[in-house]
Amino acid sequence: MFENPYLTVPILGLIGGLGNSLLMQGNFAVPRVIKTDGRTSWDPGFLGNMFLGALAALVTYALDPGDKFSVRQVGIAVLSGIGGASILTEWMQRKDIRILEIKNEALSNTIAKRSNAKRKNP
């Protein structure tokens, strides 16, 4: 089973996603169709947690695959699956924060340059 970690890790993440359903909701919510204000949407229930768990585990593994698949990586994959959406959201927020820091730095540099130019040419 551990011969192909890119198959094993998502499966472990699926298991973690089941754990997420139990921890967060206390049960396995069945997928259902919801109709609100004339709009129809689909609530994937525990399947959504499983999918996000598999995705989070795969992303976590892909960031640092290591040389050999180990027991440590099994634990990380399951924990990533339990964290699921939270891990993915945190990762995206960090990326957004870094982008904002870069933009803020560029804006500060532009303001400083314009201030210096105005001082030289009043």
Q: How confident is the model at residue 1 (pLDDT cuts 50, 70, 90)?
A: low
Which two three-digit tokens encode residue 76? 């990380």
Mean pLDDT score, 28-54: 90
Where helices occur in 1-122 by DSSP H, the ranges are 5-25, 46-63, 71-83, 85-120
Q: Tell me: pLDDT of 117 over 70.
A: yes
Residue 67 has pLDDT above 90, yes or no: no
Three-class DSSP category at 43? strand
CA dihedral of residues 69, 70, 74, 75 (deg, nearest 10) = -140
Region 19-45: mean pLDDT is 88
pTM of the model: 0.65
Average pLDDT score over residue span 42-48: 90
Question: Average pLDDT over the chain, rounded to whole?
Answer: 84
